[in-house]
Structure 1
Amino acid sequence: MSQKAALLIGNLNHTKSQWQEVESVASKLYEYPTGSREDFISKCQKGDFDGVYALYRSNDSNKITGNFNDELLEALPSSLKYICHNGAGYDNIDIPACTKRGISVSSTPVAVNDATADVALFLMLGALRNITQSFRAVRQGNWRGNFALGHDPKNKALGILGMGGIGQAMAKRARAFGMTIQYHNRRRLSPEEEEGAKYVSFEELLKTSDVLSLNLALNPSTRHIIGKPQFDIMKDGIIIINTARGPLIDEAALVDALNSRKVWSAGLDVFEEEPKIHQGLLDNENVVLLPHVGTATFETQRDMELLVLDNLKSAISQDKLLTQVPEQK
């Protein structure tokens, strides 16, 4: 048996028995289900987790430990070589700092693609049809209330910023509604991956899209990638969809663009300072809002947990991650 321990931070909701199976490759299983950042760092410094080679953490467990930044990474046991993260986004982990310390990081792409794309499509259709006004009115006994006509998706140009797994799943769904697909990415996809989508520059994507869907990771280079200068060159009446990360958009600039009707409507599952939501978004009936529930299905949550555990077992037994973050490849 390998003399390499594993640590679970937070809880597992769907794969507790699979976590116990990790003991077949790990010398010991540690758990830190609840607590505080200060307590966790203190336990690390006292040596409570010495020998941990790989750990499981999640966006949910971030409320326990806080961000994996220099301070926390410095406190982790020197034996740690792998961080297996549950979440497609991992902006709460300092990847350059991990790389500098020789720590490899994995995330959960693929497992999240369908559920997130489903929510993006839901938000897009809701935004196209101005659905918030009707939702509010019917529950208030006001029948249609401030009802206004919406738009069909058919023949609209969907611009996808970030054509990874989620973006491609979104494109597949949008084609069924008769939309044309264009995208901008760090690299152009192969013809097989594009499936007829048109690769365009960032500027052309902004200028020619009827609907813009954000499906890219948050990092220092993408923070506020959409702000006033970008809104200014977009089509009048564009629709904005964001199921990725809130800070990709300058939220105050989005509110201004919505108020001026430069942006006709928006569908948002993520926010710049969530759980706080800009009052201008809450007040605007042209915006469809969800509380970051893109992956919130039983099936997807289980698949995500299983993928993290597979990464954990692979790290301990083979010194290899199955879905290592691209910055480290």
Structure 2
Amino acid sequence: MVLNTIPVKTDSAVPRVVICGHLGFAQAECEALFKGVADVEVMHSLSSADLIEGMQPGGKYEGAVGLLRHWNGFDRFGRPLIEALPQSVKFVSSLGAGYDMIDIGACKEKGIVVANTPGVGNDATAVTALYLIISALRRFSVAERQLRAGLFEASRVTQGRCDPTVRTLAILGLGGIGLRLAELVHAFPMRVVYHNRRPFAGAPAWCEYYGPDRLDEMLAMADVLSVHVPLRKETEGLVDEAMLRKLKKGAILINTARGKVVDEAAMIRALEDGHLSGVGLDVFPDEPVVNPRLLELPNATLLPHLGSISSDAQKLMEVRGLTNLRDLLLGLHVVDVVPECR
């Protein structure tokens, strides 16, 4: 499958980089960024085997020193792929803030520096979370499904529908996305409380901090809990049965972070027995597979991991990722190098 081509060719004296995925919006920027800096090759396949084959002597990607991992290309850069890369590869620039799909340990062992694009998708992801909050509170998604099924009057009931105004949003992990969401819901206004290990330096006074010793207190007051923590070993299953049951009865859970941060089985039990009145999910533990039970539950608003997927956000992300790769090649300081590789 031909994805696209970037006509950036200079001469054999410059490095070679490979774009693994499809540049949807930043082809012109790519050409400008790498002119005189590197030859750019675009993969015409999304097969890791094709990438490795192309890296071999005489292959079209031979000698490549840097890779751009687009989220619409390779889903994972796992250990087998990383270990198969030739020693020439020194840099991986990945699009998106999350980088759990890249085996950082394997990269470090091979001396490969990894950069991501934190912050670029903050607004788009926060808007996604806002939609999920409104839809879950007002039960808009179930109403739309009924309308499409020809049941216009079936969902036009007041019971169970709530407005966000005067309700409390609890943010688990206030960072760039969480702060932007807080700004958006403040307009209703919603009360905003948050939990981090320590206060967030950029938080306005109306974002109320609840530290580790007051987490249970925060959960008990939350009408909506929105999850914004990165997926790491210590955060897998963080939102577990115990945490869910500490939420007030009828609360709503929103997750635009990573599916594995939430104990899915515990969440479904809480939905089925009414402890949670609804959920709004953009992420799932086994993407692209979605638990069939969630598809059956009417109080679940579901999206296919659309958080930062907008044309505006994607262009910014592509330009940032390309710029990171170019700057790494030039030996410049790149603030987006992930902490494990600094």
**Amino acid paired to 2:124:** A
Give the CA deviation at 1:310.
1.2
Check if 1:222 corresponds to 2:235. Answer: yes
Q: Which runs of 4+ in 1 moved over 6 A?
A: none
Q: State the distance in 2 between where 1:42 and 1:53 align.
A: 15
- Superposition pairs of residues 1-329 of structure 1, within 5 angstroms: 3-46=14-57, 48=59, 49-63=61-75, 67-146=76-155, 147=157, 148-190=159-201, 192-200=202-210, 201=212, 202-329=215-342
Task: Determine the C-alpha separation between the residues in 2 that align with 1:223 and 1:304.
Answer: 26
In the alignment of these two chains, the number of paired residues is 325
Letter in 1 for 2:90: K
Distance 1:179 1:169, change over 3 A: same
Is 40-49 or 54-63 further displaced after alignment? 40-49
Alignment root-mean-square deviation, CA: 2.0
1:318 alignment partner, SS class? coil
Whether contact under 8 Å (1:247, 1:272) holds in the other structure is yes
Distance 1:76 1:47 in 2: 15
Q: TM-score, normalised by structure 1?
A: 0.91
Residue aligned with 1:80, SS: coil
Match of 2:7 in 1: none
- Is the 2:132–2:254 Cα contact (8 Å) retained in structure 1? yes
3-state DSSP of counterpart to 1:84: strand
Quote the Cα distance in structure 1 between the aligned partners of 2:275 and 2:57.
56
Deviation at 1:242, TM superposition (A): 0.8
8 Å CA contact 1:8, 1:33 repeated in 2: no
Worse overlay, 222-231 or 143-152:
143-152
Deviations 1:196-223 (A, max 9, x none): 3122124444333221111121122211
The share of aligned pairs that are identical, in percent, is: 35
Amino acid aligned to 2:116: S
More helix per residue: 1 or 2? Answer: 1
Closer, same or farther: CA 115–307 of 1 in aligned 2, 3 Å: same
The alignment partner of 1:19 has SS state of helix
Query: Matches of 2:206 and 2:263 in 1, distance apart?
Result: 31
Deviation string 1:29-78 (CA, Å, 9 cap, x unpaired) is: 22223142223223334463343222111222124xxx222221112121
CA distance in 1, matches of 2:284, 2:335: 30
Is this contact kept in 2: 1:82–1:105, CA < 8 A? Answer: yes
User: Does the Cα contact within 8 Å between 1:160 and 1:213 map onto a contact in 2?
Assistant: yes
5+ residue gaps, structure 1: none
C-alpha contact (below 8 Å) 1:47/1:77 kept by paired residues: no
Structure 2: unaligned runs, 5 residues or longer: 1-10
Distance 1:319 1:187 in 2: 32
In structure 2, distance between residues paired with 1:150 and 1:327: 45
